[in-house]
A and B are shown apart, each in its own frame.
Chain A
Amino acid sequence: MQAEEGIRQRTRRMRRISLVSILLALVAWYMVTTEWGLVSSLKLPGPGRVLDTLIEVRGTIVQQALVTLYRVSLSFLAGSALGVLVGLVMSRFRLVFAHLEPAIEALRPVPPIALIPFFILWFGIGMFGQVLLAGLGCFMVMVVSTIEAVRNVPRIYVQAARSLGAEQDHIYRTVILPAIVPELIAGWRVALALAFGLMIAAELMGAQEGIGFMIMVARRSLNTHTILLGNIIIGNEAALADRLLHIFTRRLTRWTERDAERQ
């Protein structure tokens, strides 16, 4: 009990420290741009200017932010679910692995951003192409993470399951799948951040809505305070999504040491 109380106290102190560092960064931003005027407001708008912009365009910006969030969620969920599935199937069947591995290895180093011109050509500037692009990024990350995670499952669990009478497919569902979850978390976090990055890139290159589109339009008129506002919104959305992912995965890994120690 005492140890638990100690951990809670420490967590609270760490949160306070984080809060102070955020406040300090905000103050520094204010001093540099507004109070001391060291940088022109065109090159780096101050917090007041950005806040004004937020109030000015609050109606549309919420909508743009939601559009981007929706697309990112869609690509992350579909791309990483498919990635885990394909990774599992590749690990399970050697023949599938032999077929898919060269293609995936050849495609993996190619930054999906480099494919944007093609995606626009093939799918236009609608939502489909953008979701497909960000989904592709998540897919690649998760296929590789899953294959590696399956390789790391201790053999003893598989042997135990086999000697308990489980067939190979049953073992994949009941042993491999739960055993890889803690290792997949790192992959999911990388994939989620990548989905935000790719989505903004896709929206910058050709879209009709979204935060990336908004930044693109603001760029044409050197409207830097809107650009900065867009960046801040993306940063917050990504942090929020990461937080949600953390809450969700913690439910899945209740049985591991990492969570037992922190709760």
Chain B
Amino acid sequence: MLRLRRACATIARGTKFVSAGTLAIQDSSSPKIELLGVSKTFATSQGSVKALDKTNLKVATNEIVCLVGPSGCGKSTLLNLVAGFLSPSEGSVLVDATPVPGPGAERAVVFQQDSVFPWLTVAQNLAYGPKARGLHAGEVSSIVERLLSLVGLAEYRDFYPLQLSGGMKKRVDLARAYANKPAIMLMDEPFGALDVLTKEKMQIELLRLWQEEALTILFVTHDIEEALFIGDRVVVMTPRPARVAADVTVHLERELDPRRKTSADFQALRQQLMDTLSQNEAESAA
């Protein structure tokens, strides 16, 4: 408890430094995603492991919330609970105030690993979601055309994923997830395997998509810079079992220029989050 209070205090000081007097968005009336006292325990051969411990989290409509924390802390577990791949051991996971029934097309997921179907061409991959939902061939092909030009892959429509670079595959992945016009995008370290430049491009592409369309994004990353660049809020998790250690609203200019990552404000906030993270880790180790 003490640990949590101290972390919050640190953050409170920091946010004041960046900008004062802005209302935190999570206080708005009906959150898009809400976790209420959610715990998740896994049974393994070495006994049970608690990945998530009475976690509360609210994400407002059209908000981007980034989850950061030490690796293996349970960030992905939280994401998988919202995705519906897992169900909570305790507490409830709500989307639009309704418990998540299981995976669904309105909550698209982008994984870190390559999940583009290798046996389908680029165009067939993009068509997968709309087809699975039973749209007409005409509708499907117009969605595919739009997405192909949106992510700049029109020339590669008949290529198999094997013939694409890592960055192109990620773009296919992103476009495929978006093909169903989801209200929520759940992203689990989606750009973790990309090189720095490609990663930056993808971040900008994601933000552009988010600016154009109504989208709520829950984004797991271990890269604090990425979290600050993309997120409206950055939620810091404790080491396993994960709880929310700090919840920071990012009041920085929302520009699509990656150079702002090197600004003083940005770096100050980054340092502060780093401190919170390492403090957490040290305390849990003690």
Interface residues of A (CB under 8 A from B): 156-157, 159-167, 170, 174-175, 178-179, 181, 254-257, 260
Contacts and interface: CB of A to CB of B under 8 A. Distances in A.
B119 A163 contact: no
A163 B132 contact: no
Interface in B151-170: 160-163
B108 interface: yes
Chain B interface residue number, banded = 20 to 34
A162 B115 CA distance: 12
Nearest to A170: B132
B176 interface: yes
Given A163-B177, A164-B132, 15 more contacts: A156-B111, A156-B115, A157-B117, A159-B83, A159-B85, A163-B85, A163-B109, A163-B186, A166-B128, A166-B132, A178-B117, A178-B120, A255-B118, A255-B161, A255-B162
Interface string B251-267: 00000000000000000
Interface string B155-193: 000001111000000000000110110000010000000
B107 A163 contact: yes
B118 A163 contact: no
Interface in B120-161: 120, 128-129, 132-133, 160-161
A25 B8 CA distance: 82
B105 interface: yes
A163 B117 CA distance: 14
B103 interface: yes
Nearest to B161: A255
Contacts of B104: 163, 165
B30 interface: no
A109 to B, nearest CB: 30
A142 to B, nearest CB: 20
Contacts of B85: 159, 162-163
B109 A159 contact: yes
B143 to A, nearest CB: 12
Contacts of A257: 162
Interface core residue of B103, B105, B119 (most chain A CB under 10 Å): B119
User: Looking at chain B's contact residues, is the secondary structure mostly helix, strand, loop, or mixed?
Assistant: loop
Interface of B: 83-85, 102-105, 107-109, 111, 113, 115, 117-120, 128-129, 132-133, 160-163, 176-177, 179-180, 186
Contacts of B180: 164-165
Given A156-B113, A161-B132, A166-B132, A178 B119 contact: yes
Given A170-B132, A255-B118, A163 B162 contact: no
B91 to A, nearest CB: 22
A3 to B, nearest CB: 15
Contacts of B109: 159-160, 163
Given A159-B115, A175-B117, A179-B119, A164 B105 contact: yes
11 contacts: A162-B103, A164-B132, A164-B180, A165-B105, A166-B128, A166-B129, A175-B117, A178-B120, A179-B119, A255-B161, A256-B118
Contacts of A256: 118, 162
Contacts of A175: 117
A106 B253 CA distance: 69
B103 A159 contact: yes
B118 A165 contact: no
Nearest to A155: B85
A164 B108 contact: yes
A156 to B, nearest CB: 5
Nearest to A175: B117
A157 B128 contact: no
A165 B180 CA distance: 8
Nearest to B160: A255
A157 B117 CA distance: 7
A127 to B, nearest CB: 37
A95 to B, nearest CB: 21
Nearest to A159: B85
Contacts of A174: 128, 132
Interface core residue of B129, B180, B186 (most chain A CB under 10 Å): B129
